[in-house]
Structures are given as C-alpha cells and as structure tokens.
Amino acid sequence: MKRVSLTFRLSMMFVCAVVAVLVVAGFTFDAFSRHHFKALDRQAMTEKLESIRQIMDGEAGSAAPSEVVLQLQALLGAHQELSASITTMGGKAFFATPNAVGHPATSSGDLGNDMWEWTAGGHVYRGMKAQVHLANETEPLTAWLNLDITSHMHFVEKLRWWLVIGLAISALISAGLGWLVARSGLKPVAQVTQVAASMSAGSLKERIPMDSVPRELELLVTAFNAMLGRLEESFARLSNFSADIAHELRTPISNLRTHTEVILTKKRAPEDYEENLYSNLEDLNRLSNIIDGMLFLAKSDNGLVLAAKAKVELRSVVEKLFEYYQLLADDTGLKLQVTGHGTVYGDVTMLDRMISNLLSNALRYTPPDSTISVKIERLGKTISLSVENPGGEIAEEHLARLFDRFYRIDPARREGATNHAGLGLAIVKSLVEAHDGSVACVSRDGYTTFTISLPEWPAD
C-alpha cells in the first residue's frame, strides 16, 4: 500500500477545514434567510389583520357593512400574493378577495399569532387567522389571511443550489491553494532530507543553515545539526582509534619481525635463540595486553560488561594492592598511604582492576622519594576514592582527553613504551561507568588527583 505524502495530508486537512467552515456558514445563511422571510411574512400579515380589525370596528371609517367591504377591498385588493376571507361562525362568507384560496383545517384553539404553511396546487402558502367584530354586531367573525410564498421558496432553493456550487468550487480552489501552501511550507523539510541524503564520511561538516528555517522546525533542524556534530566527532574518534591501533600494533610486530630476521641470518648458539625468544615473548605479551584491552573496551561499548555487584570495602581492596605495589615503590623510595573507609555496591574484581590501573599510573609518573596518597570518604550517597601523587602538572587541554583510548600527553612516549599501550585510563572509565559512577582528574599546585565516585552500599 502506497503511503500518502505529508503534502497531500496537509492539503486535505486544509480542504476539510475550509469545507467545514463553508458548510456551517451555508447552513447558517440558509436558516437566517428562511427566518428572515418568515419574520417579514408574519409582520405583513399581522399588520393587515390589525388594519382589518380597525375597519371592522369602525375605527378607520364608516361602520356600515357596505362601506366596510369597500374599505377591505381597498386594503387587500392591491396585493396579488395576499388573499383574505372573512366568515361568520356558521361558515357564511362576509368578505373574500378574488384570489382567495382554501385554507387548511385548523383546530379551534389556534390563536391569531399562529402561522402555518401548506401546499396547494403547486403553490406554497403561509396563513394566519384572527377573530374580528363588526360594529354593532355581537357575533364574532373569523378573518383568514393567506400569503403565497412560492416565489420566496424558489429564491431560497436557488440560493441553496448556488451555495452548493460555490462550496464545490471553493473546495477545489482550497485544494490547490492548500497543496501550494503545504509544498512551500515543507521546503525546509525537503532541505533536511537533501542534506541527509548527501551525507557521507567526507561531508559530515555540513550543517543546515538556520536563517530560513521556520520556528516550528527549529528544534528538528537543531537536533539534526547536533546529530551531525556527534557523528562527525564519533567518526573522527573512530578514524583516530584505527590509526592508533595500527600504530600500537606496528611496533611489537616490527620488533618480532626484525628480531626473527636477524636471528635467522646465520646459525647461532642456543643462548642467542633463547635470548631472542625472551625478547619475542615480551612483544607478544604487549600484543596480548593491547588485544585484551581492546576487547574489554569493545564489550563495554556494547553494554556487555556487567558488574556482579556485592558489598565491597574499598580500604581492604586498596591495602591488598599496596602489598603488591610496595615492592615497586621501594625501588624508587615511594611511600603508599591510605586514609578513610567506604563500602560500595560493586564488583570486587573490577574494582581491583580499576584502582590497580590508577596506582600503576601514579607509580609511573611520581618522582622518587615521594608519597602516593589514596583517600576514601563519604560524600552524600556516594563513596569517593581519590589517588593523589606529586609530579608534573597536566595542562588543561589534556585533562578532557586523558580517558581516551591510546591518548598520551607526550607524543614521544608513543614509541618504545612496551608495557603501556595507553588503554589503562580508558579501561578505568569503562569500569566506573559499569558501576554507575564517575571519574575525573584535577592537576594543580604540583599534584595530580584522579577521583572516582561510586554508589554507596545501602544502609541496613
């Protein structure tokens, strides 16, 4: 089934609205016209009945019957569409105009202000009746007034047909105008569609200009431009990530190939082969670490890293890691200290890896004979763990990218660092996010502090 276009829908809605307004206006005008003609007819017959009463009572002239008849003829004879008759209670005619017509049977209770309609001989009539009294006569008479409204009804019918024709023509014109208006109004949508259709990896910098966008589409265009910005940023990161992966893998693979080529140039002693194998093993371990880190981050990006959360005391995790890192710290005269306590809702294995990466990073960049401090404290409903070490300050422009993959502040460190691929802080961020926490870095006054905030274990 073919889908209806938005332009067609808007045009039909416009047509329906116009037709609805015209139909209501037409019915209102028709009802008003009928009411107007009916009011005029009632007024005319009421005035004639009042004049008949005055003539019959002798107020308008002689009270003699012959004079009354002459006055009635003068009053009613000039109106071809108006006919009248006056009868006694017994039904005897006292007066009748030449064009008098029969009247429908009405109940004896009908009052003089009642007006009724009937059809006879192809004509439509309206009529009224009233009781009148002839001067010096006690018996009342009944005056009948009948008005031929056939011409009025023909006019109303013709007017109705013209309204129907006008409605049809207006509907067609409205359909055309609605289509033009909808097509013109939807041009910004077509522009958005055109830009979206032309999007490619090389044209993500394009944006839809906001100058000609109507107010109703501002949010849509703004959201679309923001989406393009996010796509551009994500694509740039993906491109850089691919380049970083190739760069990181190139060094150990190049070392493996070079060592192997050198060792195969001639026959050597078993000790030489053993030394080469140890060197190759170091590069293979580096490759393995890079691949493991990349696999972990890929799982984290797809929501596959799920923490088996339980009650964990952070101080015990830190003290256990201190036992492992103390040997490395002793070689450079570093001191490790921890203060505070805190119980979190997390995965002990992931928390161990998270804190281990931060301690390893601190040990790598802390000057000899210094102190690395780990502080645990409760802040509201979260537990904060900060790792602080002295050393060179990190420039502000680097802080926002410290947790990016393969990012290093010093480009010279990209070569030759066989044990560190630049994935440690990225893994820390993924582990923290898996625990619904946050991580940040502050570097000032000769100290660098990494702070992790994790949900507190709910109180019993």
Residue 137's pLDDT band (boundaries 50, 70, 90)?
confident
pLDDT at 414: 44
CA trace torsion 202, 205, 208, 210 (10° rounding): -170
Q: Give the helix, strand, coil percentages of the chain, each rounded to 5.
A: 55, 20, 30
- Given a cut of 60, whether residue 252 has pLDDT beyond it is yes
Highest mean pLDDT among 189-203, 208-222, 354-368: 354-368
Domain spanning 306-455, CATH class = alpha beta
pLDDT at 23: 86
Q: Please compute the mean of the pLDDT values over residues 99-128 and round it to a whole number.
A: 71
pLDDT at 196: 67
- Domain range list for the chain: 6-171, 215-300, 306-455
- How buried is 432 (Cβ within 10 angstroms: 0-12 exposed, 13-18 middle, 19+ buried)? buried
Which H or E run contains 316?
helix 314-332
pLDDT at 102: 74
**Between 115 and 372, the higher pLDDT residue:** 372
- Given a cut of 70, whether residue 246 has pLDDT beyond it is no
- How buried is 396 (Cβ within 10 angstroms: 0-12 exposed, 13-18 middle, 19+ buried)? exposed
pLDDT at 303: 57
Considering the chain, what percentage of its residues have pLDDT values greater than 70?
A: 81
- What's the half-sphere exposure (Cβ side, CA atoms, 13 Å) at 18? 19
Q: What is the pLDDT of the chain when averaged over all its residues? A: 77
pLDDT at 241: 63
State the Cα–Cα distance between residues 41 and 38, nearest whole angstrom. 5
Question: Whats the size of the chain, residue-wise?
Answer: 460
Residue 413's pLDDT band (boundaries 50, 70, 90)?
very low
Work out the number of other CB atoms within 10 angstroms of the CB of residue 210: 12
What single string gives the DSSP state of each residue in 36-65?
HHHHHHHHHHHHHHHHHHHHHTTTTS--SH
Q: What is the DSSP letter of 416?
A: T
- What's the half-sphere exposure (Cβ side, CA atoms, 13 Å) at 354? 27
pLDDT at 107: 42
Listed as own residue / partner, the contacts of 97-100 with beta carbons closer than 8 Å and 24 or more positions apart are: 97/73, 100/146
pTM: 0.47
- Given a cut of 60, whether residue 206 has pLDDT beyond it is yes
Structure tokens, 398: 């680097």
Residue 337 CA, distance from chain mean position: 54
pLDDT at 200: 66
pLDDT digits (tens, 9 = 90+) for 312-329: 888 888 888 888 888 888
pLDDT at 9: 80
Across 38-52, 365-379, 410-424, 426-440, least confident range: 410-424
Please state which architecture CATH assigns to domain 6-171.
Answer: 2-Layer Sandwich (3.30)
- Given a cut of 70, whether residue 96 has pLDDT beyond it is yes
State the Cα–Cα distance between residues 284 and 291, nearest whole angstrom. 10
Q: What is the largest CA-CA distance in the chain?
A: 163
Beta bridge partners of 311: 345
Across 61-65, 185-189, 270-274, 442-446, least confident range: 61-65
- Given a cut of 60, whether residue 400 has pLDDT beyond it is yes
Q: Please compute the mean of the pLDDT values over residues 337-347 and round it to a whole number.
A: 85
pLDDT at 156: 83
- The CATH number of 215-300, from 1.10.760.10, 1.10.1130.10, 1.10.287.130, 1.10.287.4070, is 1.10.287.130
